[in-house]
Amino acid sequence: MPELPEVETSRRGIAPHILGKTFKAVEVREPRLRWPVSAEIGAVLPGQTLRSVERRGKYLLLGAETGTLILHLGMSGNLRITAPDQLPGKHDHVDFVFADDTVLRFNDQRKFGAALWTSADPLQHPLLAELGPEPLSAEFDAAYLQRRAGQRSACIKSLIMDSHIVVGVGNIYASESLFLAGVLPTRAAGSLQTTEFERLAAAIKTILGKAIEQGGTTLRDFTNAEGKPGYFKQALAVYGRGGEPCRTCAEPVRHLKIGQRASYYCGRCQR
């Protein structure tokens, strides 16, 4: 699934090609995504100028003059900048065509994505209103994380993957952040000490920052706006390396499931 770094990579990839341009047309070939594609986008977008390309969590927010297009890449979606004469493929469900014939193409093989329209404040949309702070923002720090953990018995990995606590710390990045912080993923969230919260908050920022710089992690379907895969997978310390030697201590990386999600850790480096 495209996570925060992949979505941010997509945002940075498409923005220079479309920002400030005027929508000419919207072609919806398949409206049956996770939620039906908003019927009004084909009527309201043409003639409007794209004023902003932002991200909130895993959602892309394309701000026009009278509202905002909310895009979600779902399990396997991607956005591409294509030429107007490039024929759509089987899973190319929506084209956003601009006045200069630039095409922003939304591809979603599994149809778990979304293309929604709102004329209200997008941050108050039901899908976004309850999201936690951005992990790379000043609002997210050790004190905040410790306060939200409280005395919870739920494991720390589940806590940092909860989008109501903090957005965008997906399964891969949670495992990598916990390894960098030296914290076992199974630890009760309320059992961490202040210094551990400090290490963990810093690790989350470091891991996500590096992943964004390197274009995200390639797992099955993700490619960026230019069709090139992300490269952070090459730098993964524990995720997907069960049974392989830890890059730090050579102890075999362990594998278990937490909340039905694959989790990887080093029993020696993490406590």
Enumerate the active-site residues. Answer: 2-3, 58, 261
Residue type (1 letter), 242: G
Three-class DSSP category at 16: helix
d(CA 57, CA 163): 8
Instruction: Give the Å distances, CA to CA, from 38 to 27, 33, 63.
Output: 12, 10, 15
Contact between residue 205 and residue 165 where contact means Cβ atoms under 8 Å apart: no
d(CA 207, CA 112): 26
Would you state the structure tokens that stand for residue 64, as one six-digit string? 């026009």
d(CA 183, CA 176): 10
Would you state the structure tokens that stand for residue 165, as one six-digit string? 């606590």
d(CA 4, CA 59): 9
Exposed, middle or buried: residue 78 (CB in 10 Å: 0-12, 13-18, 19+)?
A: buried
Would you state the structure tokens that stand for residue 74, as one six-digit string? 């779902």
Residue 261's CB is within 10 A of a number of other CB atoms, namely 16
Would you state the structure tokens that stand for residue 99, as one six-digit string? 């006045």
d(CA 123, CA 120): 9
d(CA 40, CA 37): 9
